[in-house]
Structure 1
Amino acid sequence: MKNLRNEFPVLQQYTYLNTASSGLLYDTLLDFRQEHDLDFLIGGSKFRDSQQQFLNSVRTTIAEFFGASTKNTILTPNFSTGLNTILQDISKDQKVLLLDDDYPSINFSVRSKGFDTCYAKIDEHLEQNIMSSIEQHKPDIFIFSIVQYISGIKIDLDIIKQLKNSYPELLIIADGTQFCGTAVFNFANSGIDILGCSGYKWLLGGYGNGFLLFQDGMLDHLTPKMYIEAAKNENYDSSYISLPARFECGHLDTFNFGSLEYSLRHLSKIGLSEIEQKIKMLGSYSKEELQKLNLLGSEVVSRKKHSTILNIKGDQKLFLHLKEHGIITSLRGYGVRISLHFYNTIEDIDQLLTQLHRYR
């Protein structure tokens, strides 16, 4: 897997520990993108004649990658756009459970639309906090990020299955943007009703693409009856009036969605199980070494399982020190966030540790 680093030019210049901010483009993806636009350049409108077939292929690839149904796979420019479309069609008398300090695209979107909200605290007892909040507040909907963007705390997905079994009427909506592409995952038996994801981070798809996965019946459940009745009485092409049409409005960009499909196939060739094992190893090593330096929060240290997003105690001075030495990270929340993907190595982490020792 180490040889795969050669496909990522950024890695020749920097120690890149910032996939949680943006995944990297790579040489063969660039080849695809250039060929795509060359075909558009010389074909004009003829190039668009096969758009529907092309986008159907993208939906199928996404569905196969995540163990979902093609007919229930929706293409969206990003997770936030998809979530806001969903929220528009949910009655505002529904109570929504959120995680405190979750990604603003979730929490602000819900609060700004006037939903009654309740919260579970993000700490070492996250799953227990969720259970307690559900028992106490009895929400109708639970919306959350699988992996927290600040701390990297990853929810135990087995708990989500238990929640669905215990509360089958609870609508469970998950943001997988910081999760999808890091582990083998089967949506069909996940207990999640709707999974959304932007493709520019761990899926390495570049910007402007994402998707929503729905369990069977969910699209119908969330579509206003008024819309369904109106569609029955119209003779428009189905691309304008079908259930997916509410999400896939206008022309979808084959450049962006084609990039996502290309990267999903690329990750499949590498092997998602191999990617999962590689980043688990990197994450464990990083956590262990940073813990020795007392640079991790207690809520992270106390958890047995964690993602490869870690927030180091530090400020802008530390962030700039690392940047000056070619180590790319992000300032997030209470510290300096690092994030590791399969193209990272133990040597990358050791470079970080060296500079942390020098800074101290």
Structure 2
Amino acid sequence: MYNLRTHYPALQDYTYLNTAAHGLISTVVVDYKASLNHELLHHPAYFAERRTPFMNEVRNSLSSYLDSHYHLTALVSNFSLAFNALLEGIPATKKFLLVKGDYPSVNWPVEARKFQCCYADLNASLEENIWQACEQHQPDFLALSIVQYISGIRISLKFLKDLKVQFPDLIIIADGTQYIGVEEFRFRESGIDILAASCYKWLDAGDGNAFITFKEDVVERIKPKFTGFNSVQDFKNDRGSFMGHFEPGHQDMMAFGGLQKAVEFCDEYGMQHIEKQIKILTDAAMDAFTQRNLLKPEVTARDRHSSIFNISGDEVLMERLSDQNIIVSQRGDGLRVSFSYYNSMDDLHRLLDVIDSH
């Protein structure tokens, strides 16, 4: 079992409650990326020849972690590029259902392309709002974040499965950036048709790596346009040209090596331990914040919440927290606090001590 305090040196100096903004990077990932740079420095020919099998190894590790199809999983530099590439392959006549106030990188690219859009309100009845919007507007696509980046409201994954049963022609596109890495997830068993995520947050993989993965039955409904030399290399036989359009050019081996090592770190530490620790902290934080009236009614009224909270607080409280080396973010009209598996109950108590003395 890893000693997390050893592998995340920042935890020695800070109470880091800001994974929703950027996950910490472990010494395991840093050391591995350094070894790859050393290899490039001293053995460039071998390094260049190894690129394709190396990226295939990363893809294999990631698809196993996600329970996604290897041949339908693309390695991309960030969520936004993957999502924009996806949208370029969707006819402009299609209708999208979006969530009001969702992450700008989800809503803005859809709206900018002038797709016909309808919206579901973001409140305690999010699932009901989406269901009613589907019945009323009959959208072709639903695009949303699994976890909302400001409030931390999390869509029910069971609901998405039920929604898919009721509306089988609806294509569900999910941004998993604030979710993947929090708990065990099986893409092929989910109601999600297309999943994309940047991996620098809850997977703690560092910057420059992300993925997009597809269910087999939606591929024919997408006509991607992005292309490049890499779009036709090594895809002709085992993965097809479709996925090549999402990997049109050069990929950073250091960035994706970090992703592979981060996935291995999660596997070795154990997703069951990660999920358990996050749930313990989430439940305790929900109780503590609710008792202090720090959360909005749309959050406290829901049965289950994510590990992201937006608590009542102003710049004065933000400064007091910063003075105590407690790292959070100002988001919306409050302070966003997020708990990862490398956090502890002591971290929550330090936060509450400052809040209670405010």
**TM-score, normalised via structure 1 length:** 0.94
Task: Note the alpha carbon deviations across 1:166-200, whole angstroms, 9 max, x for none.
Answer: 11110110000000000111000101110001010
Letter in 1 for 2:25: L
2:89 counterpart residue number = 89
For the pair 1:318 / 2:317, whether they are aligned, the reply is: yes
1:249 counterpart residue number = 248
1:190 counterpart residue number = 190
Q: What does residue range 293-304 of structure 1 map to in structure 2 within 5 Å? A: 293-304=292-303
Counterparts of 2:315 and 2:94, CA distance in 1 = 41
1:213 counterpart residue number = 213
Counterparts of 1:255 and 1:207, CA distance in 2 = 10
For the pair 1:343 / 2:352, whether they are aligned, the reply is: no
1:124 counterpart residue number = 124
Counterparts of 1:303 and 1:51, CA distance in 2 = 46
Counterparts of 1:113 and 1:72, CA distance in 2 = 25
Residues 28 and 261 in structure 2, CA contact (< 8 A), matched pair in contact too? no
Task: Note the alpha carbon deviations across 1:263-282, whole angstroms, 9 max, x for none.
Answer: 00110111112211110110
**Secondary structure in 1 matching 2:343:** coil
Counterparts of 2:226 and 2:60, CA distance in 1 = 26
Shift of 1:223: 2.2
For the pair 1:100 / 2:100, whether they are aligned, the reply is: yes
**Secondary structure in 1 matching 2:3:** helix
**Secondary structure in 1 matching 2:33:** helix
2:8 counterpart residue number = 8
Task: Note the alpha carbon deviations across 1:185-217, whole angstroms, 9 max, x for none.
Answer: 100010111000101000010000000110114
Q: Percent identity?
A: 39
Letter in 2 for 1:138: Q
**Secondary structure in 1 matching 2:357:** helix
Task: Note the alpha carbon deviations across 1:140-184, whole angstroms, 9 max, x for none.
Answer: 100000000000011100010011111111011000000000011
Counterparts of 1:53 and 1:176, CA distance in 2 = 26
2:38 counterpart residue number = 38
Q: What does residue range 255-274 of structure 1 map to in structure 2 within 5 Å? A: 255-274=254-273
Letter in 2 for 1:33: K
Residues 2 and 343 in structure 1, CA contact (< 8 A), matched pair in contact too? no
1:140 counterpart residue number = 140
Counterparts of 2:93 and 2:222, CA distance in 1 = 15
Residues 220 and 243 in structure 1, CA contact (< 8 A), matched pair in contact too? no
Task: Note the alpha carbon deviations across 1:213-262, whole angstroms, 9 max, x for none.
Answer: 101143343126x999xx9xxxx644598222211011111100110010
Task: Note the alpha carbon deviations across 1:16-62, whole angstroms, 9 max, x for none.
Answer: 00000000011121110110100000012431101100000111111
1:149 counterpart residue number = 149
2:276 counterpart residue number = 277
Counterparts of 1:176 and 1:106, CA distance in 2 = 11
2:308 counterpart residue number = 309
Q: What does residue range 15-26 of structure 1 map to in structure 2 within 5 Å? A: 15-26=15-26
Residues 85 and 226 in structure 2, CA contact (< 8 A), matched pair in contact too? no
Counterparts of 1:5 and 1:96, CA distance in 2 = 44
Shift of 1:315: 1.8
Residues 78 and 211 in structure 1, CA contact (< 8 A), matched pair in contact too? yes
Counterparts of 2:147 and 2:223, CA distance in 1 = 28
Letter in 1 for 2:340: H
Residues 226 and 248 in structure 2, CA contact (< 8 A), matched pair in contact too? no
For the pair 1:178 / 2:189, whether they are aligned, the reply is: no
Shift of 1:2: 8.3
Counterparts of 2:135 and 2:220, CA distance in 1 = 28
2:287 counterpart residue number = 288
Letter in 2 for 1:46: Y
Change (3 A) 1:127 1:265: same
Residues 209 and 257 in structure 1, CA contact (< 8 A), matched pair in contact too? yes
Task: Note the alpha carbon deviations across 1:106-159, whole angstroms, 9 max, x for none.
Answer: 111110111111111111111111101111111110000000000001110001
2:68 counterpart residue number = 68
Shift of 1:100: 0.4
Shift of 1:302: 0.8
Counterparts of 1:42 and 1:48, CA distance in 2 = 12
Gaps of 5+ in 2: none
Letter in 2 for 1:139: P
Residues 74 and 248 in structure 1, CA contact (< 8 A), matched pair in contact too? yes
Letter in 1 for 2:343: N
Letter in 2 for 1:85: A
